């Protein structure tokens, strides 16, 4: 709950602005006061009237507003809240934030604030993957801003697919809740300093969902606990972390940049866009197959009782494409091998085939309780040797792996 919390929502100009109405509704439902600032671009997509009707507070649009500025209103707005949320954040607004521009009310408030700032980017996938935007993302993180999303999926305006969709309002509301629970109102948590400071670690986690038709999909039992624990341990060790997550119940690890995806194809596209990285840890249980042609309508039962004949095609192997990447292979590539038989032999095959440096092999037979459970028993294979780890909690496996990575890169 966000009872008595005060959020300043900055809405900038993108089609995702319409989702910020739902965000306001959710925040108010959880007891939060919301004040909104809209850029002139935002007003091309939604009106201040609609936003104000939902916030039930005045909506601010002008830097030099005679009434609001009698008491230097933009400075007050920057201070009188527990958190600033920029949703959607356009590429342009993020660039301005990086460079400290203050040529309208939104940017002036952002520059004058010393409270936590959560940024939810939304833009075309090409704009997101452009090195200029990626430099700005890194700069915002270095300045202590928190980022959520963007997610992978179809763009509302162009129908293109890729990474750039604004995080969903419920995800942003969850992130606000966890930040406000963890941060004191006036201090921005800087990224922790540790043995992996200055390193970029790319992690995949969770299952993928492969649609059969609009209501059905193929999934697996991965919970994402191990991959998410690794992401949290890497953040704690000072790394800049990009976590590409399939659909999971786990909360986004604080301090990691999380991209939510559904399918293996989306996961591969998000992983490729996140390169370069110093280390890749592919912990996701990627579905090996997807149906050859997804039905656009719900498949109906046959009158004769014959089940539908589904045919499958193989999904891209994300670990193999990173491990064998022609020009952007991370210095260290780590994969998992989930096996129910011939653990070492199968894991060794994966180490070679997928071009990995290490494989963390585990027996996921139902009786081990590893899939979905809280513990993991790892055998770490490299070209030279096999290391047997004791049975550990998934958090301890994560810390041990991150310590080993830090020692290897040192
Ligand atoms: N992996 C991947 N992309 C895939 C399949 C697997 O990146 N399409 C990665 C996993 O994240 C893991 C490693 O490859 O790090 C091994 O995954 P696993 O499911 O054990 O192996 P598979 O390649 O699926 O082989 P098999 O189904 O024959 O066990």
Tell me if residue 220 is catalytic.
Answer: yes
Atom 24 of ligand 1, nearest CA residue: 288
pTM of the predicted model, to two decimals? 0.66
Atom 17 of ligand 1, nearest CA residue: 337
**Local structure of 314: helix, strand or coil:** strand
Residue 185: the pLDDT is 41
Residue 77: the pLDDT is 82
Per-position pLDDT tens, the chain of length 410: 788 899 999 999 999 999 999 999 999 999 999 999 999 999 999 999 999 999 998 899 987 765 555 555 677 787 889 999 999 999 999 999 999 999 999 999 999 999 999 999 999 999 999 999 999 999 999 899 999 989 887 776 677 778 899 999 999 998 998 888 765 443 344 567 899 999 999 999 999 999 999 999 999 999 999 999 999 999 999 999 999 999 999 888 888 888 899 999 999 999 998 899 999 999 999 999 999 988 888 999 888 888 888 999 999 999 999 999 999 999 999 999 989 899 999 999 999 999 999 999 998 887 777 777 888 899 999 999 999 999 999 999 999 999 999 999 99
Tell me the C-alpha distance between 322 and 278, whole Å: 12
- Range list of β-strands (E), 225-344: 240-245, 257-260, 279-282, 289-291, 312-314, 332-339
Å from CA of 279 to ligand 1 middle: 18
Residues linked to residue 380 through DSSP beta bridges, in sequence order: 360, 387
Å from CA of 252 to ligand 1 middle: 23
b/e string for 131-156 if b means 16 or more Cβ within 10 A? eebeebbeebbeeebbbbbbbbbebe
* Tokens at 137, concatenated: 């993302």
Residue 124: the pLDDT is 93
Å from CA of 267 to ligand 1 middle: 13
Ligand 1 binding residues, C-beta < 6 A? 204, 264, 282, 284-286, 288, 315, 317-319, 335-338, 350, 354
Q: Which of 286, 267, 298 is nearest to 218 (CA)?
A: 286
Residues linked to residue 245 through DSSP beta bridges, in sequence order: 205, 260
CB count in 10 Å sphere of residue 70 = 8
CATH 3.40.50.10300 residue window(s) in the chain: 192-296+308-410
Q: Which of 400, 356, 357, 353 is nearest to 378 (CA)?
A: 400
Give, in words, the CATH class of 192-296+308-410. Answer: alpha beta
CATH 3.40.50.1950 residue window(s) in the chain: 1-190
The catalytic position among 136, 151, 220, 362 is 220
Å from CA of 285 to ligand 1 middle: 7
The DSSP secondary-structure symbol of 43 reads: G
Give, in words, the CATH class of 1-190. Answer: alpha beta
* Tokens at 145, concatenated: 């801003």
């Amino acid at each position: 709950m966000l009872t008595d919390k005060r959020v300043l929502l900055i809405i900038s100009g993108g089609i995702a602005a319409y989702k910020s109405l739902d965000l306001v509704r959710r925040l108010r439902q959880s007891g939060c006061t919301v004040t909104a600032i809209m850029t002139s671009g935002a007003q091309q997509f939604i009106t201040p009237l609609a936003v104000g009707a939902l916030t039930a507070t005045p909506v601010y649009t002008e830097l030099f507003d005679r009434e609001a500025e009698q008491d230097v209103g933009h400075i007050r707005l920057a201070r009188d809240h527990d958190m600033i949320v920029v949703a959607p954040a356009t590429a342009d607004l993020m660039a301005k934030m990086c460079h400290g521009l203050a040529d309208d009310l939104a940017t002036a408030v952002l520059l004058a604030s010393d409270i936590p700032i959560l940024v939810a980017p939304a833009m075309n996938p090409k704009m997101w993957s452009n090195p200029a935007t990626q430099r700005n993302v890194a700069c915002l993180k270095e300045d202590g801003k928190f980022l959520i999303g963007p997610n992978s999926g179809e763009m509302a305006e162009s129908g293109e697919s890729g990474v750039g969709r604004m995080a969903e309002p419920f995800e942003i509301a969850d992130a606000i809740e966890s930040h406000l629970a963890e941060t004191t109102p006036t201090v921005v948590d800087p990224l922790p300093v540790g043995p992996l400071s200055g390193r970029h670690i790319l992690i995949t986690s969770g299952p993928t969902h492969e649609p059969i038709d609009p209501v059905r999909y193929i999934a697996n039992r991965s919970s994402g606990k191990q991959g998410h624990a690794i992401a949290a341990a890497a953040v704690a060790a000072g790394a800049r972390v990009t976590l590409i997550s399939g659909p999971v119940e786990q909360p986004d690890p604080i301090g990691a940049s999380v991209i939510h995806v559904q399918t293996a194809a989306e996961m591969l596209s998000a992983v490729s866009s996140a390169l370069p990285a110093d280390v890749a840890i592919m912990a996701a249980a990627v579905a090996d197959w997807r149906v050859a042609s997804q039905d656009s309508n719900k498949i109906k039962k046959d009158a004769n009782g014959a089940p539908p004949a589904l045919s499958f095609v193989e999904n891209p192997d994300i670990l193999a494409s990173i491990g064998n990447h022609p020009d952007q292979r991370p210095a260290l590539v780590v994969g998992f091998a989930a096996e129910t038989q011939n653990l070492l032999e199968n894991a060794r095959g994966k180490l070679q085939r997928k071009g990995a440096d290490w494989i963390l092999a585990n027996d996921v037979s139902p009786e081990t309780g590893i899939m979905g459970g809280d513990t993991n028993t790892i055998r770490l294979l490299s070209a030279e040797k096999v290391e047997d780890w004791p049975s550990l909690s998934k958090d301890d496996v994560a810390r041990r792996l991150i310590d080993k990575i830090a020692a290897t890169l040192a």
